[in-house]
Structure 1
Amino acid sequence: MKTDPDKAKITIGAEDFQKFREFFYRKTGIHFDASKRYFVDKRLVERVEATSSDSFRDYFSMLRFQASGEELQTLTNLMTVNETYFFREEYQFKCLVDSLLSEIVARKTDRHPIRIWVIPSSSGEEPYSIAIYLLERWPGIHAWDVEIIASDIDTRILAQARQGLYSARSIQHLPDRYLQHYFTRQSDGYQICRDLRQSVTFTRVNLTERADTRGYRDFDVIFCRNLLIYFDDVSRKTATETFYDALRPGGFVCLGHSESMSRSSSLYKVRKFPEAIVYQRPVETA
């Protein structure tokens, strides 16, 4: 099969790359440093070719001014990394069950559901892991309604999460009993049971867009793990303020093991539990 010689000549100069990087940052909050140049260029060239654009500059012009935003969403789906598996960083789920929920329940003066927000949802392993952990390890699950909302900027990965079909690698850390109870073996992987698929609501959210996050309120716990490492200081500050607004007083944020709010925000109280360090929106007092 012959390749089109014109397509092989697609290049992205330093100035054009910088303009794209600034544009993508404004739209998504994701910052690409120089070490990601090869990764970014490769995916940009793929989209130049897929859209039959004559050059990167033609493609970039279309990307910026396309009214529907469809190409920006397609490119965002390609640029985001979705590396996860069931029960990743399990110690935080243990913290949720053994420490956080007892405080949350003690503060509740009504029977409103316990609300958990997972962002980014990626392909669903994390929110489904939380659901399984609650069913298996938290006695209070029989007394309280729990809502799990899982959000991501990547529409393609959200479709995968709703389907709930996983490879052997994704489920490798699950106990056999959980695998047998909550999954069905398919020809192309393992599908999580319908009840769990229906227990998690998946939504498309850009964390840096206030219009997207304005309706997300009254959460008791937010899991945002391994996302802020892709943001710069300004975007991280915006994200932590968004979480503050989304939490009920006394609510908690769980970050990835290499992430911290110490440089991003002074809004939160650092809580050191036996299982993990988490960040708490202070309880309002009269």
Structure 2
Amino acid sequence: MRGIIRLATVAATAVAVASLGSSPALADHHEEAAAMDRIGDAPNFNGVWQVMNSANWNVEPHSAGPNPLPEGDRLLGAIGAVPAGLGVVEGGEIPYNEEAQERLQYNQENVIRYDPEAACYLPGIPRATYMPHPFQIVQGDGDDILMVYEYASANRVIHMGEVGIPPIDTWMGTSYGQWDGDTLVVTTLAQGPGLVKLPEGVMVDGVTWLDRAGNYLTNHATVVERFTLDESGDHMDYSVTIEDPSIYTAPWTMNMTLYRLVEEDAQLLEFKCVPFSENLLYGDLIAE
């Protein structure tokens, strides 16, 4: 984890950069200089970013629909409904192999209750990027890059250098980054939650969910992200290719846009969700 201390010193800079375009006095300068804003030889990714899509509900194309829980409509009405989405998967469908269909069906039969998001477990990659919460990129000069997520105070270090062999599986995996011109290419390996506790004491071998619809990857997956800053400096193209021969018949790719928050007060707030998940996980132990 080289560079963490140095990265921490530029955390304040990330917020300042995120709000650069919101100042009227700097607007004209920002429009002219955004494409040239660099840290050393690399484009400046510092800032607070967020998606504007429904990928966290389902990365595949989907219609609007009711709450997946039978009692959801009665308790929540339209608040709990699923918004429609054009999908972010190239070709529209994830190429699961026949063996993977059983786990996919199991996940789908148990949304929302078995979704790691509902239990406040770490979301994994790439889901952390397109959850309905912002995240912050903290970038120094020629050093490792830190990504901090509002959801569950999650974070990951992008180890800048050659792709290595992670020592263990973890919820967020281990990420390695390299520059391909002005594109940041991040390879994440070894995403493995291990044995996971679900509601009412159910224990299962965990997998990384990609959305609330139950799509998933395993600890055999190689996830390659590509971050490419637009000339405007206020949004970037985000592409993710996932290869996992244990459950997919071929590698597949998602594409979406990340938007920089340009408000003067752009920042991450706290969403420490453990207290919100306790009744779901342990409610059966509470005395009536």
Measured against the shorter chain, the TM-score band is: under 0.3
In terms of fraction of residues, the more helix-rich structure is 1
Q: Which has the larger Rg?
A: 1
- What TM-score do the two structures reach when normalised by structure 1? 0.27
- What TM-score do the two structures reach when normalised by structure 2? 0.27
In terms of fraction of residues, the more strand-rich structure is 2
